[in-house]
Structure 1
């Protein structure tokens, strides 16, 4: 029994260490544009059934309760919380945010893979193409010609520009919004990008503001949805749970020591 208790305590230490790492990553990205906080999910390990409820105790009776001993805990996975972050006014015409569900599409380098992001802090490449800070092109591509005085982005993602000497603005294209059946199944690859997986399903492209997709807001950026107070409370809980499991290891070690000295 003491040896199995050591194993259970060890799994508790590992689980709380992983939970603390998730919390640390959330707090580290509190200023990251469009960041969505993660939550560590736990599950029990397999149980050792030494007696099953309903098993015959005598010829005429059966046990009303069983004897099941747990073997610890494990981190089942991390869930990304998709709640909307605060939209902050920036005044930059190339900063856009999604007011509601959905993702912007970006062409990732190497192999033509598509990345999805909530961070709309875009800029222009030397060729006038709408790109991310890393230089990745937004898809469908938006090409801005030279001599443009101002750029306007409508809530449905339509991009238009005003040029000197022309009364009417010219339409440059439309930013499409991607949605997923299971957005929590998207895989984070860093740099504020997500890629689709078998769990997320394929991207369903459409117009902003339609079929549940969010509207595009020009001159705004979505802040991280991390709540400092909630994360600090989670951190304290994880720290206390880690301390308790550490005390369990010390207690079992003392029991073993006393048993060795007695025997």
Structure 2
């Protein structure tokens, strides 16, 4: 390959008497794979030893940053949030998973801290948004209502028994 070209005869093994085909390969001008021209990518050295992912953090803007054993950090990605015209129209799929419906409208995607999207809080656990004392009072009221209804049914049953026994 001194001149960069090589001619080959290829026996096609084709039936019906096809002639051998001759073609030339030139390695000097271009090589292509998947219809793209060659690209030579230069690798660079940054002076740091190879590192393993040790931990990650999620920032208020939704960016996920990886912390490596060689004391380097790298952006791993960003969390995308979805907003809906009607949040009440979402369909519950269970396990705190929701899906869009015609009633909810299409998802409007964006990143935390932009537009109408809130921010994220790393490491926080949302507390229950239920007033425990109010719910306890509601449960006691429901139990009293049940007892009252049971007593009403019992009294009505006694009245019917008395009427039946009057004969």
Bin for the TM-score computed over the shorter chain: 0.5 to 0.7
Aligned to 2:61, the other structure's residue is in SS state coil
Residue-pair matches, total: 117
- What root-mean-square deviation, in Å, do the aligned CA atoms of Structure 1 and Structure 2 show? 2.5
Correspondence 1:1-263 to 2 at 5 A: 147-165=52-70, 169-262=73-166
How does the TM-score come out when normalised to structure 2?
0.57
The answer to whether the Cα contact below 8 Å between 2:52 and 2:70 also exists between their aligned partners in 1 is: no
Give the structure-1-normalised TM-score: 0.38
Point out where structure 2 has 5 or more consecutive residues left out of the alignment. Answer: 1-50
SS of structure 2 residue aligned to 1:210? coil
- Once residues 166 and 224 of structure 1 are traced to their aligned partners in structure 2, the CA distance between those partners, rounded to angstroms, is 38
Q: Deviations over 1:167-220 (max 9, x none)?
A: 5x3221110112223323333333332333343333322111233322111122
The change in CA–CA distance for 1:202 and 1:260 in structure 2 (over 3 A counts) is farther
Shift of 1:149: 3.7
Residue pair 2:89, 2:101 contacting (<8 A) in 1 also: yes
Tell me the secondary structure at the aligned position of residue 129 of structure 2. coil
> Which has the bigger relative contact order, CA under 8 A and spacing at least 6?
1
Larger radius of gyration: 2
